[in-house]
Amino acid sequence: MRVVVVSDRLLSSEALVSALAYIPDASVVATVHALGDASLYCENGKADAVMADASVVHQQAAGLTVSMSELVTHGAGQAVDGYVAAAVTAGKQRPWQLAPAQLAELSCREHEVFVLLGMGLSNHRIAHRMGITEQTVKAHVGRILAKLQLESRLQIGLAAVVHLAQQAADRRQP
């Protein structure tokens, strides 16, 4: 699968490219800063999928009506508001696809850190926002990794994005 990575932050872009390297059938064909640029690759047949930094999706596509968790967990791809969005899974369970029971293992504060990581906040910003030290944030991150059996902060972030998107989709349903 040919993937375009969308991020306006170098570190996020590099992390997404690095994560995609672990997916055997995925190859990154371009890294761009805007969803509109990524859609051109898909429209021209040069890419099959788009993987975007959550902050880019939040800033540039606030009107998306599709559930990001559905895209990530079920591998569905569809055009949305002129953009082409698709997941990078092929129906296989990924580490960031968590069962509700797994999330129930987190304490309230760990869940708060989990959500803030999904929003892309640094340890420093999480500490400031929660009124705790960076060392405490690092301890929470370590416990989250252990409890959810994840390997990296990136996987926590991906799991949190899927979780938040699923919550938003659930709120929209009658």
Per-residue pLDDT averaged across 33-44, rounded?
A: 77
Nearest CA to 23 out of 116, 105, 115, 91 is that of 91
Of the pLDDT bands very low, low, confident and very high (cuts 50, 70, 90), residue 59 is low
Per-residue pLDDT averaged across 110-137, rounded?
A: 93
100-172 classified as CATH 1.10.10.10: yes
CA–CA distance, 128 with 132 (Å, rounded to integer): 7
Of the pLDDT bands very low, low, confident and very high (cuts 50, 70, 90), residue 81 is very low
Which one of 2.40.128, 3.40.50, 2.60.40, 1.10.287 gives the CATH number of domain 2-86? 3.40.50
Place of tokens 């030290």: 133
Domains 2-86 and 100-172 share a fold: no
Asked if 63 and 35 count as a contact pair (C-beta separation under 8 A), the reply is no
Average pLDDT, the chain: 74
Q: Is the pLDDT of residue 8 over 50?
A: yes
Q: Name residues whose C-beta falls within 8 Å of residue 7's C-beta, 6 or more positions apart in sequence.
A: 13, 16, 31, 33, 52, 53, 55, 56
Q: Is the pLDDT of residue 88 over 50?
A: no
Q: How do the domains of the chain map onto residue ranges?
A: 2-86, 100-172
% the chain with pLDDT above 90: 24
